Amino acid sequence: MGTEVGAPLIVGSGIAGLYVALRAHEQGLRPTIVTKSVLAESNTRYAQGGIAAAIGPEDTTELHRRDTVRAGAGIADLAAVQVLTSEAPQRIADLVRYGVPFDTIEGRITLGREGGHSRARILHAGGDATGLQIEETLRARVLDAGVEARELCVLRALRPAPDRTVTAVLSREDGSQAEEIAGRQVVLATGGTGSLYRLSSNPITATGEGVAIAFRGGALVTDMEFVQFHPTVFAQEGAPRFLITEALRGEGAVLRNRAGEQFMKRYHPAAELATRDIVSRAIHQEMRRTGDPYVFLDATAIPRDRLFARFPSICRFLAGYGLDPSRDLIPVSPMAHYMIGGVATDLEGRTSLPGLWACGEVASTGVHGANRLASNSLLEGVVFGERVARQLAQPTAGGPRDAPRMLPIELPPGHGEDERYATFSEVGALLWDDVGIVRNRKGMETAVNRLEYWRDRSEPPTSLDLASPSANAALTALLIARAALSREESRGAHFRSDFPRPSPRWKYQQGLRRVRH
């Protein structure tokens, strides 16, 4: 298929993919959305906490910028943070224009506060259903606009072309009906890696294949060691892994151990309102100290009417397990939640491969540094999605610079798909046990060695062969483990018991690039 001018291919249907498709259509382009599930399924719909923007009377974009930089633990890209926070109010105005029903009181948008924020600046829709409301609004707009959507269609490979476009190889989930689409601008919006971990708040579709495919095609990736764990995921045995938003703690809920002690005060002065990395490690340490499989979130101090009005989805879910959060404690534990690193981009969403853009969780813009500030993720999708859409309409040359420290990763010819190697369950257990909330050299060396073994047996024999889902899982997991093993310090979401403090020698981004065998 030859070049089709103005017909970008957008891979992914979360907030970033939908927003880019909608804005590209409004600029006269003819985008096509490709999604491996259905258009209504993505990580976005499970985002309870909200979207951050400095729109309150006592807030400023400068304060939002400072909070984001502080959470980033010294390595947030300052230019990217400036873009994110200064453009946030206008992107919120866009979402309002599209019809997102943000919660209001007497006609004014209500604002909540979450850990790491110095002001109440979190917008919600439907109480704790913000991601769902945004996704459904954007999806309806996309469908009304007549944007083509190809569901149950999987990206299998990306191959750069001499004319600064990218060839995308697509197929059905079982590998059938493979086709090459050449001469297109391609936008990666494939989401994160959370479900690669054994315990995760993410849907099963969040397997990080976008990172593996882009890396295999030659793209630079950065910051893969920084995986954010959400502190409070429902942890009752036999129940699904259901995220309990930290907005509950912003409203006054506290964490207690089995003895009833409000233990967070022992770990950090901000207690329950500390950043996610601190709260997750504190819960992890408390669980190890007591031997319990979870701690408890106590929301009983929040007035019942407010609790049920503000968090209707959570209250309905808990009721299905016989719990009333106005009187019962909620069992919770940390689980893998958000990929901070990913495919490296510049401020316009351009990757190191001409013709390939990335935005949303799959992209590494540098805006989060070593630790994402709560509710900046949905915002990142629309702020940088707007910039990607403008680039699609009027492309310019550019791309990310190499990181100050680069790790070469060799991809030798493999043996192709073999179900004995790199199963999702094995990868998940290995990452959780050895590259999890608290890490050390011995565990990560074990993980790297095992993942390299799986990689060598699951990688396709040549660059023209298509990688399997298990090969993508093994490769993405290896990138996480190699980057984590290399960074000999603790910073933000990356914590090593053998290097428990940050080091000025590591105050920079770390990149990984493929070395051809």
**C-alpha to C-alpha distance for 382 and 96, rounded to whole angstroms:** 13
What DSSP letter does each residue of 446-509 carry, written as one string? HHHHHHHHHHHHHS-SSTTSPPPHHHHHHHHHHHHHHHHHH--S-BTTB-BTTB-S--GGG-S-
Which distant-in-sequence residues (6+ apart) come within 8 Å of 9 by Cβ? Answer: 31, 32, 34, 168, 181, 184, 185, 186, 187
According to DSSP, the β-strands at 342-344 and 363-364 are parallel
Dist. CA 61–CA 480, nearest whole Å: 32
The two beta strands, 510-516 and 221-222, are: antiparallel
Q: Which two tokens stand for residue 322?
A: 């016989």
Both tokens of 428, joined, read 């998940």
Q: Is the dihedral of CA 467, 473, 479, 482 positive or negative?
A: negative
DSSP E strand stretches across 88-226 = 104-105, 108-109, 111-112, 122-123, 148-150, 154-160, 166-171, 179-184, 186-188, 221-222
- List the one residue out of 427, 444, 422 whose CA is nearest residue 435: 444
Nearest to 504 by CA among 435, 409, 404: 404
Take residue 393 and report the two structure tokens written for it: 């309409």
Instruction: Give the SS3 label for residue 404.
Output: coil
DSSP 403: P
Nearest 10 degrees: Cα torsion 27, 33, 38, 40: -20
Residue 135's nearest CA partner among 107, 109, 99 is 99
Q: Closest Cα to residue 389, out of 87, 3, 36?
A: 87
* Known catalytic membership, residue 513: no
Q: Which candidate, 444, 455, 238, 219, places its Cα nearest to that of 349?
A: 219
Specify the length of the chain in residues.
517
**E strands in 7-103:** 9-11, 32-34, 51-52
- Do β-strands 32-34 and 148-150 pair in parallel, antiparallel, or remain unpaired? parallel
**Closest by alpha carbon to 243, among 279, 205, 200, 285?**
200
Cα separation, 91 vs 98, in Å, equals 11
Q: Give the active site residue among 276, 457, 491, 513.
A: 276
Catalytic amino acids? Answer: 276
